[in-house]
Structure 1
């Protein structure tokens, strides 16, 4: 049995960052990084943006050059999947029939795309966006497609809609809720983006009820409660299912993801979980549990784990942030808006540069900044002061986009 000091399951942003952070901290133990894809660790956010558009080459997605991993003595076990974990024996079994021992196990598996539970979901031409291979296939088929249906009006769906509509495709977005981005943004932001997409020729159907994907072997239509829409190609973007089954079977505590403490430790000894699959209590979620799907969370939790392993533990504490590029609009979000009870608009949405500020009991808890980079940069400190110190800024000053947000902070 091969033994590792640190066995990392998942070769995405989170898993790769653990390995990189350990070596940066002069950790000399053995490290293995297991990934189900054949590719070395790469960026995923561009997949639905400039990689789908053909504006970014595959080699530019790589997190590090090919020789980085060997030069740092980080073993990549690619195209391999962990099928079972024995937490007592401190080992993991893979689909290659091998058993790997570990001193520390880091679970950074993310999760597969959530499937839409309707007939026809396995037809050719029904796609998801999760891996580079997914997008390579999608791009090839999109070249000859005219009518493209996108199921889901979240970040992934709207980013893909922007790329494909710019490429001259007739794009229809089917969203089950009464507005797009409903899970991540306030109604003013949702309505703004709906208008922007419609102005670019995208059809948006809200409250959509999909009954089935139709076709003989390959999808050619989507049947909804309101009728049948022609479809040469379908993209389903309705979130992911956290990959937790193997750790759950090993006895880990699981809810909406693998439950971890503020050092990213699971309920199993010497087992950590980070990134998209980890459920943790977050101060910026106003003390509620949450599972964050973001690059920021993946990197910061990875650094937390590396600190624990190298004997310099520092609890996870980071202001969440996200971004989305659609057309010439850059949406930058800081903080978590889920617990807000009021909003304030800074700037004029008609200008294309504005921010929506989310408040809870007068405190700033999050901002959505559209082409407003200064608000995003300065808003981070305002969110931190609101959540951690209870700062309540002057509302009139907060509304005035000419007033820099940093001026609302208490003097040092």
Structure 2
């Protein structure tokens, strides 16, 4: 499925292939877009655009051979470009219609540009980090919806035994059933972190990202509205999403517009979103809704990652004025699937974003251990990424809600107002149970 002109660092290309392998059975072909410097910035569905329903008729007139590829979903219609490259059709529409009349159908992923979390999971000991909160009432009465890869039943982990539900993703690798499917344990790991911070919170893990932790944005927008209560009914207190996309033109995701509109009307809900692992300032959506571009949206908290020492930003973390807060996100330890895991990118002995921001910061961006291509996982893993800083913050909001009886947005605002400040990074939140690696 590779396209000859594709370029990028080997880790990016190998993770793109993982996404394609997973999405292939669903008929989704994936391409990548580059910035002016030749670096990959986004992944999108080949030969398709997203068009707001109000603009559909005009777009079909402007693009010869274009046709709807399905019914309207979440206020937008996916359009087949009739054999034209999606980028070319998008550029022509930008010249002949108002800017923003159509968008690429971006791939929303737990593994965005770089197409990978901070690293791949490695075997770990039995103690989670953050540790289980000794206050077993922390988070009581709070409902958290996790948008991720589903929940895999895990044995012998007390913090996941009660108050966790979710749809289950496929566990087995399609090519080799004896291996764990890539990223199948991502949602479980996140649920484990949440329950360690807020043991009494009710956590429901959605299987909304089935293709190696990815899905086209129009499908995600539709899935979110199917899974959340209908208009007029109460939404979860907290929605936690450790996935997103950059869009090349720094515009928000069109396919999530209907969800975002409804979120704005549900003042009882806060969206906590991962800032992404590009290691730069490029807006990453939906986290970048936290502001300042196009304007800060109330009820959205974007989360970057701190290094495992807690004294600097993790080298892989996105950053910039649109990131609300940073929390520990490097070498965390929590629940994972039991079985054999094959590393797609064995460790090469240096950081992908080498040199690290600090001379003494042994940044973790590659997989481990270096001497093995296959590791045996025994139910716990060590993993890094803004994905995992996000449930820490979601859990801290839940804990405060249960203690103060504030709404989720009030609790989030109070936590951010009282956050510590790390010079050169920004606001930081660290849960009491976290300890430096």
Decide: shared fold, TM above 0.5: no
Choose between structure 1 and 2 for higher RCO, CA contacts under 8 A separated by at least 6 residues.
Answer: 2
From the two aligned structures, give the one with the greater strand fraction: 1
**TM-score normalised by the chain length of structure 2:** 0.26
